[in-house]
Structure 1
Amino acid sequence: MVELILSEAAHGEPAGALWSSPSWWVALAMTIFLVVLIWKKAPAAIGAMLDGKIAAIAKQLSEAEQLRLDAESLKAEYEAKLARAAKEADEMRDRATAEAEALVAKAKDDATALIARRKQMAEDRIAAAEAGALAEVRTAAAKAATDAAAKLIADKHDAKADKALIDNAIAAVVKG
């Protein structure tokens, strides 16, 4: 009661006139506003709007998660491709090294065979030259022997001895 008297003294209005107070009108307007909002289903609309936003955010989150999974999948795929490429490069390097070693070995073998062929050819040439020289020496010796024999025959034989030798040679040919 003391408050009612103080309120009356402060506002200069009697305590019985509740509807004449501005705070009562504000409370009444607020109550009417809230009743209209509930009657027009504003909380449900606000809830539906918030649910729509939540659904949109959830959809964006799921899309982001899917993009992250796709990115991880692509990363793993490219890491596997990189590993395969590195393995292929190692295999190519090993193959090239083996081929190079084979080529070097073949070149050594070919060089050895070429040296052996050239050596054989040189030895054949030397043997041919020796044979030619030996033939020349034999020819020269035979010629010298023939010339010496002819000189000896010419010196020691006369026409009479020659006739007997020719007759003996002809007789040997006829018999033979």
Structure 2
Amino acid sequence: MVEILTDAHFWVGVALVVFVGVLVMAGVPGLAAKAIDARGLKVQSQLDEANRLREEAQGLLAQIKTQREQSEKLAAEIMANAREEAQRLQADSQAKLAEQIERRGQLAERRIAMAESQAAAEVKAAAADLASSMAERVLTQRLAGAKTDPLVDKAISQLAGKLQ
């Protein structure tokens, strides 16, 4: 037994047992368990928070996808309405242009008809003037070559009165 008391390993073992006994008496294992439990609770709360944030992010992502789809539908409707409006405006413009061309054509035709009527009236007036001057010359030449005739003198005086 003396040999056991002088062995260093024995005393190291005894010191270890005493040290563990002191630690147990001081409540270190309870403190260690509490620290481990606290750390576990902290990790669990962090995991719960991460799960909650992930679910919230997934909800926001689904909401954003829904909003994007609605926005795309609205944009498609706006584009369709704009195309329809452009086609309607184009058709209106073409109809107004055709109507304006028709009115201008009718106005041009009226102007041409008026110009033709005026030209015809001027030609008739010129022909009447020419005919009267020719008749006057013819009558003047006949009268100059003929003796005075009371009927011819009377017709000339009536013609001269009408010309004045």
What TM-score comes out, normalization by structure 1 length?
0.68
Map residues 35-114 of structure 1 onto 2, 5 A cutoff: 35-114=21-100
Q: C-alpha separation between the residues in 1 aligned to 2:149 and 2:113?
A: 46
Q: C-alpha separation between the residues in 1 aligned to 2:155 and 2:28?
A: 165
Deviates more, 1:42-51 or 1:112-121: 112-121
Match of residue 142 from structure 1: 128
Match of residue 19 from structure 2: 33
Q: C-alpha separation between the residues in 1 aligned to 2:149 and 2:67?
A: 111
Q: How many residues align?
A: 153
Q: Structure 1 residue 117 and structure 2 residue 103: aligned?
A: yes
TM-superposed deviation, 1:153? 5.5
Larger Cα Rg: Structure 1 or Structure 2? Answer: 1
Q: C-alpha separation between the residues in 1 aligned to 2:64 and 2:97?
A: 48
Specify every segment of 5 or more residues in structure 2 that has no aligned partner in the other structure, as ranges.
none
TM-superposed deviation, 1:55? 1.1
TM-superposed deviation, 1:152? 6.1
Q: C-alpha separation between the residues in 2 aligned to 1:110 and 1:118?
A: 12
Specify every segment of 5 or more residues in structure 1 that has no aligned partner in the other structure, as ranges.
1-12, 171-176
Structural RMSD (CA): 3.3
For residues 23-62 of structure 1, give each alpha carbon's deviation from its aligned partner in whole angstroms, at most 9, with x where no partner exists: 7756654443333222111121011001111111012102
Deviates more, 1:26-35 or 1:69-78: 26-35
Q: C-alpha separation between the residues in 2 aligned to 1:24 and 1:113?
A: 122
Contact 1:18-1:24 within 8 A present in 2 as well: no
Q: C-alpha separation between the residues in 2 aligned to 1:78 and 1:94?
A: 24
Q: C-alpha separation between the residues in 1 aligned to 2:92 and 2:155?
A: 74
Q: Using the aligned pairs only, state the percent identity.
A: 31
Contact 1:37-1:43 within 8 A present in 2 as well: yes
